[in-house]
């Protein structure tokens, strides 16, 4: 961006380190100022610490999808944003082809980059102009999209049967917004503290809570606005991510990276468990979380070896007239039935009924057990009676759910 008098200012927030030389006629006028500022700077990076543009491109083309080139250049925040947003929604990963030279220049503390940022930090007016620059607004768009994605993923990982579900989802949304905005705000040279972003999100949430039940969609905008203004005017500026990582230590960095990957893995696992579906032996959908819970409570878990022996016998029995196309189809069907993914066999067992029980028998047995274990009829033993009552009620609801689906499908 060209200023009056031929000066150039760096693009705030893009972290590309666009090494633009100022015109020769201006170099002499600012040489004294620049020399005074650079005299106080730490020594230059050692040759062993400098990054290779060839290696950066090699990692980009081989493992760019997992942010390997960004980790190599010390841009850890950038790498985590890229991984969790699918390469910054694919657009950022493609643009990295053109931005890698700037990333390398910034990591290696290229003199032109340092000079640009020294001039930028000494002139408050340049920060004002940076507020209206394209890189800052493009970063705000990335913060918005990343925050919305994190909100959806984090709230999808909240179990639906958890106590105070609505409040937990709101708290999770505040944390997700804070993390997303903070990560994107720390891409490149600007650095901002997480506490600033988090307290801003909490304050905005409290204010908006009086007007909106679900504050997550409205909360993103003021947090992004305040964070970017704070980053431009009051944020810290670090010239080289490589120098920061060297000061922090290799093992500290490895711990942070491992913790980040563990958090991503835990969140992804929660989303898959609570939202993915499997089919039982009748083709009816069952939530993966419910299927695993039912499997843990199924006879197959209690009698693992006996169950596999039965599945083996059922798979390899001689019966050419059955409905299965191959032994593999028969095997998987027997496995689903044995593992009780829909919880039907466990529910019948909890009610004390055989597997061929009719709907009328199920209803009659449920009413009998519900009356027997109702807490009001078990004074002095309410806790044990309440547990049995809830178990009977859950078993009946499970049976009703899948039998109703089966009737609707005509099975």
Selection from 332-336, 355-359, 390-394 with the highest mean pLDDT: 390-394
Of the pLDDT bands very low, low, confident and very high (cuts 50, 70, 90), residue 149 is: very high
pTM, two decimals, is 0.63
Given a cut of 60, is residue 118 above it in pLDDT? yes
Where residue 235 falls among pLDDT bands split at 50, 70, 90? low
Query: How big is the chain by its Cα radius of gyration, in Å?
Result: 30
The per-residue pLDDT for 83 is 93
Given a cut of 80, whether residue 287 has pLDDT beyond it is yes
Contact by Cβ (8 Å): 106, 240? yes
pLDDT of the residue at 124: 56
pLDDT in tens, 2-49: 333 333 334 434 444 444 444 433 433 333 333 333 334 445 566 667
Lowest mean pLDDT among 54-63, 149-158, 318-327: 318-327
pLDDT at residue 128 tops 70: no
The enclosing H or E element of 285 equals: strand 285-287
Tokens at residue 251, please? 């093992």
The reported pLDDT for the residue numbered 20 is: 42
Q: What is the pLDDT of residues 45-94, one digit of tens each?
A: 666 678 899 999 999 999 998 999 999 998 889 999 999 999 989 999 99
Q: Shortest CA distance to 192 belongs to which of 147, 225, 238? A: 238
Q: What is the pLDDT of residues 298-319, one digit of tens each?
A: 766 766 656 666 666 666 665 5
Q: Report, as an integer, the average pLDDT of 169-182.
A: 89
pLDDT for 14 equals 44
- Return the closest-CA partner of residue 277 out of 325, 234, 341: 341
**Which pLDDT score is estimated for 408?**
65
Q: Stretch 216-231: mean pLDDT, rounded?
A: 77
Sign of CA dihedral 42, 47, 52, 56: negative
Alpha carbons 247 and 263: distance in angstroms, whole number: 25
* Per-residue pLDDT tens over the stretch 326-335: 566 666 666 6
Which of 132-141, 359-368, 379-388 has the lowest average pLDDT?
132-141
Q: Which of 243, 237, 235, 220 is nearest to 108 (CA)?
A: 243
Contact 136, 13 (CB under 8 A): yes
């Amino acid at each position: 961006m060209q200023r009056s008098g031929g000066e150039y200012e760096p693009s705030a927030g893009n972290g590309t380190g666009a090494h633009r030389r100022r015109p020769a006629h201006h170099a002499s006028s600012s040489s004294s100022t620049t020399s005074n500022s650079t005299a106080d700077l730490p020594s230059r990076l050692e040759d062993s610490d400098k990054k290779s543009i060839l290696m950066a491109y090699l990692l980009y083309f081989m493992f760019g999808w997992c942010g390997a080139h960004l980790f190599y250049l010390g841009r850890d925040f950038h790498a985590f944003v890229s991984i969790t947003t699918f390469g910054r929604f694919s657009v950022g990963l493609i643009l990295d082809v053109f931005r890698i030279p700037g990333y390398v220049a910034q990591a290696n503390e290229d003199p032109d980059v340092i000079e640009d940022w020294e001039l930028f930090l000494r002139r408050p007016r340049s920060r004002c102009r940076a507020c209206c620059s394209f890189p800052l607004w493009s970063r705000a768009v990335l913060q918005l999209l990343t925050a919305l994605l994190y909100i959806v993923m984090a709230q999808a990982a909240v179990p639906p049967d958890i106590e105070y579900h609505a409040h937990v989802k709101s708290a999770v949304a505040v944390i997700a917004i804070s993390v997303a905005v903070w990560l994107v705000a720390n891409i490149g040279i600007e650095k901002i503290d997480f506490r600033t972003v988090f307290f801003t999100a909490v304050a905005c949430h409290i204010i908006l809570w009086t007007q909106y039940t679900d504050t997550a969609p409205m909360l993103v905008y003021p947090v992004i606005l305040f964070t970017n203004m704070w980053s431009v005017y009051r944020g810290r500026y670090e010239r080289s991510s490589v120098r920061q990582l060297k000061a922090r230590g290799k093992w500290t960095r490895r711990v942070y990276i491992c913790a980040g990957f563990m958090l991503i893995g835990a969140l992804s696992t929660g989303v898959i468990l609570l939202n993915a579906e499997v089919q039982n032996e009748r083709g009816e959908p069952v939530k993966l979380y419910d299927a695993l819970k039912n499997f843990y409570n199924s006879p197959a878990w209690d009698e693992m070896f006996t169950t596999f022996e039965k599945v083996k016998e059922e798979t390899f029995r001689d019966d050419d007239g059955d409905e299965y196309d191959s032994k593999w189809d028969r095997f998987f069907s027997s496995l689903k039935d044995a593992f009780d993914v829909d919880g039907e066999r466990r529910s019948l067992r909890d009610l004390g009924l055989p597997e061929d029980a009719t709907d009328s028998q199920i209803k009659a047995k449920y009413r009998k057990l519900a009356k027997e274990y109702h807490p009001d009829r078990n004074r002095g033993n309410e806790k044990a009676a309440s547990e049995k009552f809830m178990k009977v009620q859950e078993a009946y609801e499970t049976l009703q759910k899948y039998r109703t689906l089966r009737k609707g499908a005509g099975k």
